[in-house]
A = this chain, B = another copy of it.
């Protein structure tokens, strides 16, 4: 990558790291919430559903601002967490948090749809064979929704790679810490003659996201084949 400056390579690596962790850490939550929304009826279900979708609806800047207020050093959650050693403010972890939250609705929607497509009769069959609810989930539901999980994760990863508004508002644009590819693109776009550099970074984003997409298609197809067996 001779045509990338060290700062750009830095941004690329950071973006990958942020998106990777954002996806990985939100995944269990995403699966849990999707399952709860798909299969359980509980009071507050619609509230949860609304909350999950919030980042999609709000302008990213607003989400970032809310994150800043909540998870900032002086925020109601940021303070206590900081005492536990978990600091989000102006760290790459914060960028991951922002990206994860922005990507969360996409992930949940995808997984939820695939859970809803699983025939409860198969889950029942698992139960009669002695598998507890959790076991049924692990051995029947989870494998059958793998295509949805992969789809949801890649969608989330792609979204995280492209996330910008909430991230820059929450954790700013600090090279090496929070300057992800999109932030770098933004910075380049703010100055004269930055277009060339911005274009370069955009192309990198595209290449990475497309590779992830292709990979997910490939894996998803193989898994779907296994699941459908045809």
Contact = CB atoms under 8 A, between A and B. Distances in A.
Interface of A: 46, 49-50, 53-54, 56-62, 65, 105-106, 109-110, 113-114, 116-117, 147-148, 151, 155, 158-159, 161-162, 164-165, 182, 185-186, 189, 198, 202, 205-206, 209-210, 213-214, 217, 224
Main secondary structure of the interface of A (DSSP, over half): helix
A113 B151 contact: yes
A56 B159 contact: yes
Contacts of A198: 62
Contacts of A56: 155, 158-159, 162, 209
A46 B209 CA distance: 12
A57 B161 contact: yes
Given A158-B56, A161-B57, A162-B59, A109 B217 contact: no
A99 to B, nearest CB: 12
Contacts of A114: 113, 117
